[in-house]
Amino acid sequence: MSLEIKPLAEITHEALDILCRHLGVANTARFVNQFTTGYGNYTEDRRKLFAQMSLEEIVTEIEQGRKRD
């Protein structure tokens, strides 16, 4: 094991290379994605989106969407 301090960019490149070789590109992307943070404010967005709807209306929309699928 090396005690050499490498730049973070180099470590990241090596780690992604190893993951890609062992997991494949798609699974590496899925793995890395779990550590990224989202953006925006989900709670505030949800309040705005459903502000004019009752719980019953929301449930009805969900049920209608399931029937279409």
pLDDT at res. 40: 87
pLDDT at res. 68: 84
CA distance 24 to 3: 29
> Tokens for 14?
């090596």
Question: Half-sphere exposure of 45 toward its Cβ, with a 13 Å CA cutoff?
Answer: 4
Does pTM top 0.85 for this prediction? no
CB atoms within 10 A of CB 29: 13
> Tokens for 30?
């899925």
Which stretches of the chain drop beneath a pLDDT of 50? none
CB 19 within 8 A of CB 28: yes
CA distance 1 to 35: 26
